[in-house]
Chains A and B, each alone.
Chain A
Amino acid sequence: MSVVTDPKTGLIDGPVHDRLAALSRARGWYGWAGYAAPSVLDTVEFEYFALRNQCALFDISPMHKYRLTGPDASAVLNRLVTRDVTRIRPGRVGYAVWCDEEGMVIDDGTLFRLGAQDWRLCCQEPMLTWLIEAAWGFDAEVRDESDTLAGLALQGPTAFAVLEAAGWDVAALRPFDHAGLGEVMISRTGFTGDLGYEIWMPWAEATAVWDRLWAAGGPWGLRAIGYAALNIARIEAGFLTAGVDFQPVHATERLHRGKTPYELGLGRMVDMTKGHFNGRRALAKARPRSLLMRVDVEGFKPAQGALVYHRKRREVGHVTSGVWSPTAKRNIALAHVALPWATRTPPDLWAEIYTLEEGRWDTRMARLTPVEGAFFAPQRARATPPGHT
């Protein structure tokens, strides 16, 4: 169910396009849910280091956002997702994943509990028809807020200081808290694994909010960034991207391209004790076929797209995301590896990396070393109140 852009319409402007266009020296735009989004505004390096050492502003308005309200809203969501949403209290945000009837992941996203009977789901894939289907027969209303609610991600060690300078007091927000502050709602969430916030507001308010942050951010090194820099950060954090690290099963046309939460390393998100949820019966019977692993890749050549071999001979998987991590100073990757090879000790896994150097293709086998946890998880991401730098 990927978004198809009408070639006649072309990409359309997001809520802060004027500001982004003015900053875009690279003029690198890509289509994100039909919107023109920056892949890079200046250079990836500048933007990445701003994100990790100062702070960065990234427009996340093209995300799909859905509001679920009504007496049965929680029941509908509990039917939809694999975790028990009743444990997400009002004022909190929860990461969630949801499956089809075969237990294959449709998408993942964040659930904002705005009230006892009031929820917002933010995700990458269009989900309106699926949510309406999930809510059919229940006393709950589904509303698509994708084009009415804008979001700006402010991420990095000085993010708290910028918000403070802009006049928003979020000192009390713990990770995964959210709070309404006047016109905006601010959540301590993000896609970088670092200290960071997401600011949510009506579409028409986004430019004013951007300007307010921009004015406050100068002394704190605030920079606008594109997706390329963010992508490095999210791989460092070990986060998955739909369509890259897993194929949202509703968007696949071939059989058996879906993955279960277990296969994506999201088993902790599955609560088999909460009662029925979509795909539960299939998941109860499912045996993982492969595992999404975090690996450290020998050498410094990014392993993106490389095939994975066991003992350099048997093909057992492939790398979905691979990048040199400037912060971890490691060559890191996420890779799907078939079982049982994913869990063998010693692993003896290798990535076959193709390189192109000035017209010459070459291939090399790079040893993969499994890594537990995120490649980069700074303490500052969890401190409350957070520091200024």
Chain B
Amino acid sequence: MSRFDAIVIGGGINGLVAAAVLGRRGRSVCLLERSDRLGGMAGADGAYPRMAHLLYNLGPLVRKDIGLGARDWPFRTVALPTVALNPGGAHVRIDGAEARFVDGRPHPDAAAYRALVTRLGGYGALLRRLAEAPPPGGDAAWTDPAALKQMLRLGGFGRALRQMGKAEMRGFLKVLLSNAYDLILDELPDGPLAGALAADAVRGLAMGPRSPGTVFSLVYRHGHGGTVSLPVGGMAAVVAALAEAARAAGATIRTGTAAARLLCEGDRVIGVETGAGEVLMASRVLSSAAPLATARMAGLDRFDIEASRRMRLIRARGTVAKINLRLSALPRIDGLPDDLLGARLLLAPSAEAVETAFNPAKYRQMSDEPILEALLPGVTDPAQDAGGAVALSIIAQYAPSDLAGGWTDAARDRLLAAVVARLSTVAPDLPALVAGAEVLCPDRIEAETGAPGGHWHHAELGLDQLLTIRPANGLGHYAMGLAGLYLCGAATHPGGDVMGLSGRNAALAALGDGP
């Protein structure tokens, strides 16, 4: 029997960050990962990306709190331009707020795009104040130092809101809860540029750009700069850096060790029993497993009926399939200069096309013309090509987790064929180059990572599951009711993407610390 101050369940990004933060604050930590590989959805086979393939929002705040210094990560990142592919037309290159045609010609909507993205960035900066801290509210008396800090922060949010100016603030509050489709098409004609924004607004979500709340998710993404970067050495380098930070902070990391049961005494958690029957004692347990799975490890009877109902009803319908192709040679994309082959390639020809792709998902069908985010990581970082072949990493949407008939081999083949066919509209030689394919449908993603429904963000980023009510009402402050037990996965606030903030915030909550 070993004893620790804290045990972290799950060695994904958030689990590793939580372990590092706790370790840095002088706590002895043991992290348990049931698979043999760390990283969860960011985990990689060697340098080759498996699920997540790019970094959006990994924040400097996390870096600082896990002791990696304020300057940079121990891995290099390369900011990638985005190319909005336009089958049969001119592709658009996007660098931050700047858009132009890939051949260098100015884009007629560049000014409108810049204005819109700048606006979104402004909103995002505002929301970031909320994202980086634990969500507001909670039980603490207002005289409590943490509560005071929180009030100041909320006051800061209000002040920042006011400083936007009346018109901007009105605009912000007006669009925040509405749909991305209307917001985008108010400013831009429909086309690849609008499609790129629409696709970014709904990636991983069971929503189309016309669904209410998608402005929020779009702002969320742009709030952190909206820049997309490729870690050199792949996601493996990111995971290794986080694991190294956790180890350097004194954390014990054990892979291949599943947590089977939470041990409790009275109304507190006192430890974890592993799948092999080993008992590890700790006064705090942080779980990046799904909330319901975590509750079941302790026994549902330790939670209120309302709490177990909310956990059961957390919306987590995955819509993303990850497709990893091995190609015999670099594909040629019509109209795309070779130097842009390494860009983030978005195949979402219009906002309308994104919504149309979503339609079948409402009825448990896959998209016939899926929306794709494709990446040839080896162009930028040759180490990421898979064993001599060219790696093509694709996030395909919509591939609903509850597909009618289930994700059979035939269904997987159909999805693969649809994705390849879709890509061949811009890269006609692609089908002939495919030397191997791995199709990770939501069921596989769930089986491998434990994310319910294989959901890209572990729980839908819907307006009913954000901030104080992420992942559900009563669970918004990382604590689960049972004393000493905390949630630290991406299902908690702020959640989503590869951010690490959930793990950091949960660790701080477990330490009884304010932000």
Contact = CB atoms under 8 A, between A and B. Distances in A.
B312 interface: yes
Closest 7 CB pairs of A and B: A101-B304, A101-B306, A137-B300, A79-B301, A276-B302, A134-B305, A278-B304
B267 A80 contact: no
Interface string A209-229: 000000000000000000000
A300 interface: no
A75 B304 contact: no
Contact of B312 (A100, A101, A136, A279): A136
B307 interface: yes
A80 B267 CA distance: 16
B309 A133 contact: yes
B306 A100 contact: yes
Contacts of A100: 304, 306
Given A101-B474, A137-B296, A279 B304 contact: yes
A46 interface: no
Contacts of A75: 301
A143 interface: no
A276 B267 contact: yes
30 contacts: A75-B301, A78-B301, A79-B301, A80-B305, A100-B306, A101-B304, A101-B305, A101-B306, A101-B474, A130-B305, A133-B308, A133-B309, A136-B308, A136-B312, A137-B300, A137-B312, A138-B300, A138-B301, A275-B301, A275-B302, A276-B267, A276-B301, A276-B302, A276-B303, A278-B304, A278-B305, A279-B304, A281-B267, A281-B304, A281-B481
Interface in B270-315: 296, 300-309, 312
Contacts of B306: 100-101, 278
B267 A137 contact: no
Contacts of B305: 79-80, 101, 130, 133-134, 278
Contacts of A279: 304
Contacts of B309: 133, 136
A169 to B, nearest CB: 40
A278 B304 CA distance: 5
Interface string A106-133: 0000000000000000000000001001
A234 B307 CA distance: 36
Contacts, number: 42
Interface in A66-89: 75, 78-80
Nearest to A134: B305
Nearest to B303: A276
Contacts of B481: 281
A198 B307 CA distance: 36
B452 to A, nearest CB: 15
Nearest to A273: B266
A129 to B, nearest CB: 10
B370 to A, nearest CB: 35
Interface in A130-151: 130, 133-134, 136-138
Contacts of A138: 300-301
Contacts of A79: 300-301, 305
Interface of A: 75, 78-80, 100-101, 130, 133-134, 136-138, 275-276, 278-281
A292 B303 CA distance: 29
B157 to A, nearest CB: 26
Given A136-B308, A281-B267, 5 more contacts: A75-B301, A100-B304, A138-B301, A275-B302, A281-B481
Contacts of B304: 100-101, 278-279, 281
A100 B303 CA distance: 12
A21 to B, nearest CB: 41
Contacts of A281: 267, 304, 481
A387 to B, nearest CB: 44
Q: Which of A100, A278, A280 has the most CB of B within 10 A?
A: A278
Nearest to B482: A276
A133 B313 CA distance: 11
Given A136-B312, A281-B267, A281-B481, A101 B307 contact: yes
Nearest to A131: B305
A137 B303 CA distance: 12
B140 to A, nearest CB: 13
A280 B303 CA distance: 10
A137 B296 CA distance: 9
Interface in B87-111: none
A153 B148 CA distance: 59
A236 B305 CA distance: 35
B446 to A, nearest CB: 19
Contacts of B302: 275-276
A383 B452 CA distance: 59
A177 B261 CA distance: 40
A101 B453 CA distance: 28
A101 B303 CA distance: 9
Contacts of A133: 305, 308-309
Nearest to A80: B305
A104 to B, nearest CB: 11
Contacts of A136: 300, 308-309, 312
A136 B313 CA distance: 12
Contacts of A280: 267
Contacts of B301: 75, 78-79, 138, 275-276
Contacts of B303: 276
A289 B110 CA distance: 63
Q: Which of A78, A80, A101, A280 has the most CB of B within 10 A?
A: A101
B292 to A, nearest CB: 9
A78 B296 CA distance: 17
Interface string B324-354: 0000000000000000000000000000000
Q: Which of A100, A276, A281 has the most CB of B within 10 A?
A: A276
A275 B298 CA distance: 13
Nearest to A76: B301
A137 B302 CA distance: 12
A276 B304 CA distance: 8
Contacts of B474: 101
A138 B295 CA distance: 13
Q: Which of B296, B304, B309, B312 has the most CB of A within 10 A?
A: B304
A75 B300 CA distance: 10
A278 B312 CA distance: 17
A280 B307 CA distance: 13
Nearest to B306: A101
B475 to A, nearest CB: 12
A101 B308 CA distance: 11
Nearest to B481: A281
Contacts of A137: 296, 300, 308, 312
Nearest to A284: B267
A78 to B, nearest CB: 7
B257 to A, nearest CB: 25
A374 to B, nearest CB: 32
A260 to B, nearest CB: 15
B294 to A, nearest CB: 13
A133 B304 CA distance: 10
Nearest to A285: B139
Nearest to B296: A137
Q: Which of B296, B300, B303, B474 has the most CB of A within 10 A?
A: B300
A138 B302 CA distance: 13
A136 B267 CA distance: 21
A136 B301 CA distance: 10
Nearest to B312: A136
A134 B300 CA distance: 10
A80 B306 CA distance: 11
Contacts of A278: 304-306
Nearest to A282: B304
B458 to A, nearest CB: 20
A276 B296 CA distance: 14
